[in-house]
Structure 1
């Protein structure tokens, strides 16, 4: 299946899933409110799962909106919710949890103020750490918005970096390991170098970030250490082979 057909297939499945899981629920009313009043886009784990064919029911959904105003706050007052330290809102509606993010309070806009003069589709895919998540789903238009890094991933299944600057490198390390282990991916040379460079610096924070993000330690320290040392070994072997072959393979398969 070519890339355009893959993208259209993902769009169709996400649209159908949104209709089917929210139909006749209070969450459906919330989705319609967002579609009517705001430029709103799903991002993150839900889209990633659909890329890999996991069309199951998703209970935790990330959405970015063009603004969080008084109308929004008044509307969600009837639900159980709390505001997090990053200016986002976690809203509990029935069996679903919605993480709603204000475009103007995202980390990237705060770090790079000129981005506030752009639109969500113009900027958000380019601020993703991973190429696999450099994509949005427009609730209004029922279509994916993505960049060339995402389409390249669909073609070669090589996990790589879009924007290296990130406030949580320790989480990027954990996510790298999780993705390649779960989805049997290859790593780009850029991501390999990032992992090796940051691992020893952030090693002591890896258990903490897992507990905070997953509410458990999914990957024991010795398992991560073993992966780190194997990564170094493979990287060195490829450096040696690169001296013998000019156009050596930059992407390393790590799980067989």
Structure 2
């Protein structure tokens, strides 16, 4: 959070948002900061409790476009920023039972690792209980499981495992194994191109994650330690 506020353009954006509501940091940046991950970041997800001043936001962004989920994609200072109004969150269109508040948003994320947000005013951390359980156990599970196998979510299982050092629970392990069976290793590696920065997945890494998940499933419990062979645990992450 301090790094963001040191960027004059980002700080100007946050001040504008906080005049009409409260801005919150959300998504992978928060997950990586709290669960642990080496490397730099460039993508920032922010939701705002009040209305966005679209004209002002566009004026301080080098590039801007409307997204298909009702928010805006900006380039502000050194960062790519996705920003949207909380009440218009894309997830609320599909999770009809969810309340249109922060707790409701956190209940719509796919994995427990993402059920957390940080106020960019007070620094207060707002977390779903399942995120807190993941912090304690270092095991992650589903919050809102996809109805179908989705290749990007299968890839995310491996990335979270490798990048953050948290182990997939049995339900997530089964989802990953089913994904490998459905899509194949090569397609998972290719799908990772969606993410910026250094790639985490290669054939060896995906195979080891797959072996680990299958081992947990055959044992009936989450294995104590990931095994990447030859004494190697997790590749370093720089992006």
Using structure 1 for the length normalisation, give the TM-score: 0.74
Which 5+ residue runs of structure 1 have no aligned equivalent?
1-13, 240-248
Residue 245 of structure 1 corresponds to which residue in structure 2? none
Give 1:9's aligned residue.
none
1:50 aligned residue: 33
The answer (yes or no) to whether the contact 1:187–1:252 under 8 Å persists in 2 is no
Report SS of the residue matched to 1:129.
coil
Superposed displacement of residue 47, structure 1: 1.1
Which of 164, 171, 178 is the equivalent residue of 2:159? 178
**Would the aligned equivalents of 1:130 and 1:159 in 2 still touch at CA under 8 Å?**
yes
- Higher-Rg structure is 1
1:109 corresponds to which of 92, 113, 124: 92
8 Å CA contact retained: 1:104, 1:110: no
> Which residue number corresponds to residue 210 of structure 1?
192
Q: Which residue number in structure 1 is paired with residue 230 of structure 2?
A: none
Q: 1:251 to 1:161 in 2, by over 3 A?
A: farther
Instruction: Indicate which of 63, 74, 88 corresponds to 1:91.
Output: 74
Q: Which runs of 5+ in 2 are unaligned?
A: 228-232, 234-239
Which residue in the other structure is 1:100 paired with?
Answer: 83
The answer to whether residue 130 in structure 2 is matched with residue 158 in structure 1 is: no
2:107 is paired with a residue whose SS is helix
The alpha-carbon deviation at position 31 of structure 1 amounts to: 0.8
Q: Are the aligned partners of 1:185 and 1:253 in contact in 2 as well (CA < 8 Å)?
A: no
Structure 2 residue 162 is the aligned partner of structure 1 residue 190? no
Alpha-carbon distance, 1:26 to partner: 2.1
Question: How many matched pairs?
Answer: 225
Q: Identify the residue that residue 237 of structure 2 maps to in structure 1.
A: none
Deviations 1:128-157 (CA, angstroms, capped at 9, x unpaired) = 222121101122332111111111112111
Q: Distance in 2 between matches of 1:198 and 1:56?
A: 27
Determine if the alignment matches structure 1 residue 34 to structure 2 residue 17. yes
TM-score, normalised to structure 2's length?
0.79
Match of 1:142 among 101, 114, 123: 123
